[in-house]
Structure 1
Amino acid sequence: MIIEAYPSDDLIVKKKNREKNLTDYLLLEKKIKKKNNIFKKKKKIRIENIIKEYIDSSKKRIRIQKLARKEGKIYINKGPRILFVIRTKGINGIDPKSKKILKLLRLNNVHAGVFLKINKSILKILQYIEPYVAYGYPSIKNVRSLIMKKGFLKLGSRGHYNKISIANDVLIEQRFKKIGISCTEDLVKEIYECGPYFKFTNNLLWPFQLRSPKKGFGKKGKKKSVIEKGVFGNWEYSINFLIEKMI
């Protein structure tokens, strides 16, 4: 007598579930791929628009300078809007007030760096803690390098932040979607031009932890100011050389 073996109901249900899960997964993968392609196209258009804006603004500035020269006038360009501040000294020999200021500026470690908006109060604070910091006006190239190479975002609630690397533009879009920032170039533009959401974006960036500069700080080192060929103080536009050494 031959007995035919039929699959049980459980096996049939499991097989159907597997097939359904596979089709769902393939559909989801297709949707994600489509979404990524749309995002890439949008990002490309956005970057092209930002580059066009920079080129147009530089052309406009050159044109105004030429007109001013013809009329015998002097065109004064708008000065820098942000500072990049690097802590150059550890905790030894720092008075309590300076320690508190460094903590408020989020400069808790040696070689930590932050962006700050230029105003009277910030310049006054920096004068007080000048022996412990180096600061100056970063170029757009170095703002981009800092964000892309050393940038970390804060994720989570206050007191329980997670340090997440800025690995891709999807993370930036998720975090800054409300204020219209969708890619790295948008974030760079907002920081460099000190836009209306500078405070919000800057607070969500973790302080940049830089390395010791190549070949050190020179013979006079941290004890002398930049005027005396040392380190601390206002480097102005020369801070870009120091940033490039420390990235």
Structure 2
Amino acid sequence: MIAAIRVRGTVHVREPLERTMEYLKLDAPNALVLLPENESTKKMLKKVENYITWGEISVEVLAKLLEKRARIQGNKKLGQEQLKICNANSFLELAEKVMKDESYLKKLGVKKPLRMRPPRKGYGREGIKKSFSVGGALGYRGQAINDLIRRML
């Protein structure tokens, strides 16, 4: 499963890129969405890589993310009732089920996107205008996305 975070704002974004970010539900800076790992998703992420960062999320980080940031109807956090719907005893079990089958999020009614805080200690030394490979914040991160998400919780 891929976690994608919008890093840059909405000003002066070209129309095709803005539309692609709407499809991905990345409507504001620091918005996070969980996406399936398939070819069409990767092409969309590659198209808007100058505005977002993404990578593969781990089960432990996904469990913390669901516990602290996931919201259902009425802006309520996930609770024990929602865990019972999916036959899970903990958020870690729920995260494992979500990693196997993303439809659990729809079953629970989790709203997209997850609204995150700006990361503690910032995005990177080079800022939000350069790619991750040269020390910035944009583009593909791989497993390093987990560290960024922990700093944003």
- State the TM-score, normalizing by the size of structure 1: 0.57
CA 231–202 in structure 1, closer or farther in 2 if over 3 Å, else same: farther
Shift of 1:93: 2.1
Q: Residue 202 of structure 1: CA displacement?
A: 4.7
What is the 5 A alignment of 1:193-232?
Answer: 193=100, 195=101, 198-199=102-103, 201-202=105-106, 204-206=109-111, 207-232=113-138
CA gap of 1:170–1:199, structure 2 versus 1, over 3 A, is: closer
1-side partners of 2:59 and 2:76: how far apart?
Answer: 23
Stretches of structure 2 lacking an aligned partner (at least 5 in a row): none
Alignment of 1:159-174 (within 5 A): 162-166=74-78, 168-173=79-84
Structure 1 or 2, whichever has the larger Rg, is: 1
Task: Write out per-residue CA displacement over residues 130-189 of structure 1, whole angstroms, 9 at most, x where no aligned residue.
Answer: 011110011111000100011112x3xxxxxx32211x211343xxx3xxx133344312
Query: In the alignment, does 2:29 pair up with 1:110?
Result: yes
Identify the residue that residue 8 of structure 1 maps to in structure 2: none
Tell me which residue corresponds to 2:63: 144
What value does the CA root-mean-square deviation take over the aligned residues? 1.7
Residue 50 of structure 2 aligns to a residue in which SS?
helix
TM-superposition CA deviations, 1:92-127 (whole Å, max 9, x none): 121111111111111111101011001110011111
Give yes or no for the alignment of 1:192 onto 2:89. no
1:243 paired to 2:145:
no
Distance 1:236 1:202, change over 3 A: farther
Partner SS state of residue 223, structure 1:
coil
The structure where helix makes up a greater share of residues is: 1
- Distance change (3 Å), C-alpha of 1:202 and 1:136: farther
Q: Unmatched 5+ residue regions in structure 1?
A: 1-81, 156-161
| Structure with higher RCO (Cα < 8 A, 6+ apart) | 2
Partner of 1:182: 87
Q: Which amino acid aligns with 1:120?
A: E
Instruction: Work out the CA distance in 2 between the residues paired with 1:172 and 1:163.
Output: 17
Q: Which amino acid in 2 is paired with 1:149?
A: K
- Rounded to whole Å, the distance in 1 between the matches of 2:68 and 2:17 is 29
What's the % identity of the aligned pairs?
24
Say whether the 8 Å CA contact 1:136–1:237 is kept in structure 2.
Answer: yes
User: Counterparts of 2:52 and 2:8 in 1: how far apart (Å)?
Assistant: 7
The partner residue of 1:93 within 12, 31, 36 is 12
Counting matched residue pairs gives 149
* Deviation (angstroms), 1:90: 0.7
Amino acid at match of 2:20: I
